[in-house]
Every structure is written in C-alpha cells, then in structure tokens.
Amino acid sequence: MSRIKQFDLPDLGEGLTEGEILKWLVAVGDVIELNQPIVEVETAKAAVEIPAKWGGQVQAIFHPEGAMVEVGTAIIEIDTDPSAGPAPAAGPPPAANGSAGLAGQPEIPPADGAIEPGMIGGPAPGGRTAVLVGYGPRTTAAKRRPRRSNDHQPSTGGVTPPLAATPAVHAAPAAPATPATPAAPATPAAPVTSTVPDPSVVPAGTGKTLAKPPVRKLARELGVDLAGLSGSGPLGSVTRDDVLRASQQLAVASPTEAPETGQLAGGSAGRSVPRTGSERERRVPVKGVRRLTAENMVASAFTAPHVTEFLTVDLTRSMKALDRLRAQPEWREIRVSPLLMVARAMILAAHRHPMVNSAWAGDEIVVKDYVNLGVAAATERGLIVPNIKDAGRLSTRELAEAMADLVRTAKAGRTAPADMAGGTMTITNVGVFGVDSGTPILPPGESAILAVGTIRKAPWVHKEKIRIRQVATLALSFDHRIIDGELGSAFLRDIGAFLTDPEAMLLAWT
C-alpha cells in the first residue's frame, strides 16, 4: 500500500456537493496527527473544520484559500511514513471538471478519446469509475467534446503536469523575441509543494494573461488592458485587486492626458469629473451561507402564505424576574437575556397550541410533539438559524446554557450543518439592533416565527395609572395553510401573557 495518500474533500452531509477553502490550518512540510484539524471549509450550511484521516507529513496542498472545491476532489497529500526516507514523486490530484490543481491553472487536454482520471466516467483509485455524488456509474461510453481549433497547448497524454512543471518568466514588453525552443519530452514530475507560487511566472504556452472570467469582465468595464498587468494571484494570474489598482492609476493620470477626461475649458488644470458606474461599485459573490439563505427565503416566501400579527406587551415583570435570576449564586456564570424569557414563553405556548408546532407536507400536516427551537444569529458569513434540539424538555437553566452555547458557536462560525436542520419554530431578535418590529419570513418546513423588538421605556397604563414601563413589540409570522387567524392570535396572546406576568403563568401552565 502506498505511503503517499491524497485526502479528498469529504461529503459534509445535507446533500452538499462543494465547499470553499476558507483557511489552511497546516502547511507543506508540517507533521500532523490523526484527526488533527487541517483545513476550514465553508459550505452552503456553515464553516467547519475537517480533521486529517491519517497522521504523517504534509507533502502537497492542491487548492489555495478561496478556491471552490467539489466533494470527492483531492485537497491535500500526506506522507503517512515520513521516517522511511524521501517520499516518491507523485503527481497532482485528478481535478474535477477538467480543472488543474490550483484555481487558474490552465487545462492541458488529454489524448483524443481519453477521459481524465477523476472525471465523471473516468478511472478512479481502486479500479472504480468516478461518478457524481449521489449517482451511479455511467452505463454508456463517455465521449469528449472535440478540441477547439485554436487550442495550441501540446497534448501530454492526458496527464496534467504539476504546477512547477511548465513555468515561464514574463518577458518585458520591449524585449526582442527569441526563437522558440522545441519542447522537451515529458519527465516524471515532482510533487506539488506549495499553493502560493511565484507571482512572476505563468504557465507556458498559454498565449494570454491568466485571469478568471469575472476579472476579465471587470477589466472590460473599467477599460483596463490585462496584457499590460503583472498579476499577483496564483501562477501570476491577474486578480480583481490588480484590475482595481490599474483602474485607479488610470483615473489619476487621466485629468492631465486629455481635456475631455477632466480638465476645464481652455486647457487649464481643474477638478476631475466625478466618476460613476462600475468604477464605484463592488460586486460581492453570492455563495455559501448567503446563497442558501437567499434560496430558502425565496422558496418560503413564495410557497407558504404568510400572515403577520403584532402585539405590544409590558415586559417590566419579566425584566425583574431576570434580575432575580442573575442574583442567584448558581446563575452568576450563565448569560441571561430577555430572549430566555421569550423562548420559555414560546415553548409553553406551543404546548398549549400544538398545531402551531407543525409542518405542511402536501396532503397532510405533520404535528410535532417536540420543539426544536431555532434562534436566528447574524454572523460574518450571513444569517444562520441553528436550533436547540428538544428544547421543550430542558429546564430554564439548561435552556439558558443551550442558547448561550448556540450563539457563541454561531458567532465563531463553527455551527455544524446538523445543528441547523430539523427546526420546528424560530425566534429572531431584531431588538438588539434597536428595531421595534418586523415581518419575518418563515424558515422552510416551519409554520411559525416570532420577531422580538427592542425593549424600551415608555408610558403605559398600569393599574389605571400612566406609568413608565418596559415594553416591546412582538411580531408573529405564520403559515396560513396551517394556522388560521384564531389560532395564531391565541398563540401570540399566550406568549404576551407569559411575558407580562411570568410567575403567574408558570403556576397556571405547569
């Protein structure tokens, strides 16, 4: 058995087919242990750390940070027995969709009729046939589309060379042309040893500057000539930042080059004309958590008929109850917030109105006898809604600890995909932003979501007198296919009643 092993991006569950390399936690040459976290990957669900399947020494890293990698694609190479001497030379991993190891590396086509190792329908380790995740092997002969007539890259028999196998130094624009030398026969390649190549090199035979399609589009919009740029990306590829820097240099130089680009009439230097359009725009890729959230919100908004009801309640007694809890010695190490009281109220109200805790399933309604309480959390990667499993069975202290752990994990970007699946109802706290209320959209598969507004001191009629009380507005959105106005109103009323007088409601409902 070979001591050199290539670690593929694993299936992280929930039907995910790709992930983005956020951060490498190891480097080439590092000695790692079994189950040591080696890379942080963001999927459409969350960012997760992936542990190593073997211990040993890192020989190669095949994808840089920021690259999108398909499930089943090799991402790192490990020598499982580094003490046995120098590792044998090994080529780069079979790359999905014909792409080479690092993003931006040009594809060298295989011989006619051959299917690249790792491509769908092609050979895979162990004599298997490479297939798409979730599908069986192809039963028909695989065909490769004909090569384009303007493809000048030499064939290498279907073997993609390593990154360092075909470098060529950029020639200066004024340098005289030199005769082309005949291509040397292919020789065994050394393993890839770094994911950050020298930015001054580009693959030989490409004939043009390396840049991804979005970067080329941006360059066309800004009027930047890619041929005159020295790229700072992998293999010398031009990045978005390179194009923006070149555009800024053009903007600075343009007022002195021609009157129509910014000078005042008469040729005298004046203020440059303010630029508008794409030069003052930023394009943020929609991927990962943000893409999944967008798809779910669109699906929910245009599938479930939403109704939103509002109720303003007096939370003065609930706030005093929280103060008493914080004063207890056993609660001093636990983070206690008003959201704890809202969560307890929602769980108790769901026990009184079980139809609210259900899901629409076409020809039937699935009523759930458990509450997986979701808590919406705003993170740097977008909004996620992890949930507390079987929250209805937890004591108030256990619920407080679970909510604190949930928020802490979400803020750190460590929420596992399983923690965001299976929610039955959700709370979203818009009050932390100073917002009074809103009309939340249901997470898919749920029938009720409660938005909690900011808690403010306001004049309130209390015991027939106007007093300064702490009040907030609750907004309940629900699926009108399951919950009619009467049921939704009763559910929201009971939540408000608990928050208005929590001690009395605990005695009455338990």
Report the C-alpha gap between 31 and 29 in whole angstroms: 6
Q: What is the spatial distance between Cα 96 and Cα 75, in angstroms, rounded to a whole number?
A: 11
Residues 403 and 397: their CA atoms lie apart, in Å, by: 10
Q: Where are the alpha helices (DSSP H) in 302-431?
A: 316-327, 338-352, 396-411
SS3 4: strand
**Dist. CA 265–CA 470, nearest whole Å:** 64
Angle between helices 316-327 and 338-352 (to 10 degrees): 110
Are the C-beta atoms of residues 166 and 101 closer than 8 Å to each other?
Answer: no
Tokens for 110? 């295989």
Residue 335 has which token pair? 């983070």
The beta strands (E) that lie in 139-257 are given as 167-169, 201-203
3-state secondary structure of 244: helix
Residue 220's H or E segment, with its range, is: helix 213-222
| CB within 8 Å of 131: residues ≥ 6 apart | 120, 121, 137, 138
Catalytic residue list contains 351: no
Residues in a beta bridge with 68? 20
Q: How far apart are CA 350 and CA 476, in angstroms?
A: 13
Residue with the two structure tokens 């983070």: 335
Helix, strand counts (H, E) of the chain: 8, 21
Give the Cα separation of 36 and 32 in Å (integer).
7
Tokens of 435: 């917002």
DSSP state of 154: P
Partnered with residue 314 across adjacent β-strands are: 471
503: tokens are 């001690």
Give the residue numbers annotated as catalytic, written as ranges.
480
